Amino acid sequence: MVEQQKQRIELELSRRVDELDRTILRKMQGEMHECAARCCRDSNASMDSVQRCIEACSTPVQRAQQHVETELGNFNNRLQRCVMDCNDSIKDKMGPKPSDEDISKYTAMFERCAIKCVDKHVDLLPGLFKSMHQVLGNK
């Protein structure tokens, strides 16, 4: 059950990151490469000057990628904290020597709690990606 939820969130994240890549990040990368090509066409510029120009061209893409990584990292941390809270709550209820029946009962409780975490966090994804679209669209 938990593995299904893990796959569910991974698929949803993958789908949304792919859409972000197709709509914003690839355009930024194309612009970066066009900018770098212009830098290289300047035959009067020094090697250092061309290198600085190329680095400046890559800065917006690097910032965008960093923003996406940070946001996804924060999202994953929140999800992990939610699941860990489920785990801690179940451990508190379980006691030192649970029977097999208790273990089954608490495992089911944990799975229900973890599914709620995934549901909650999947529901947060549209807003998260809308925000990333807005931030990256302004770069």
User: In this predicted model, what pLDDT tens digit does every residue of 17-68 receive, in sequence order?
Assistant: 999 999 999 999 999 999 999 999 999 999 999 999 999 999 999 999 999 9
Task: Determine the pLDDT at residue 5.
Answer: 86
Per-residue pLDDT at 131 exceeds 80 = yes
| Distant-in-sequence contacts of 14-18, Cβ < 8 A, 24+ apart | 16/125, 16/129, 17/68, 17/72
| Alpha carbon distance 138, 128 (integer Å) | 16
- Structural domain harbouring 7: 1-138
Task: Determine the pLDDT at residue 97.
Answer: 87
| pTM, 2 dp | 0.84
Q: Higher confidence at residue 136 or residue 139?
A: 136
Asked if 58 and 139 touch (Cβ cutoff 8 Å), the reply is no
- Grade residue 98 by pLDDT with cuts at 50, 70 and 90: confident
Task: Determine the pLDDT at residue 62.
Answer: 96
Task: Determine the pLDDT at residue 24.
Answer: 95
Per-residue pLDDT at 96 exceeds 90 = no
| Alpha carbon distance 29, 36 (integer Å) | 10
Q: How many domains does the chain have?
A: 1
Averaged pLDDT score across all residues of the chain: 94
Per-residue pLDDT at 116 exceeds 90 = yes
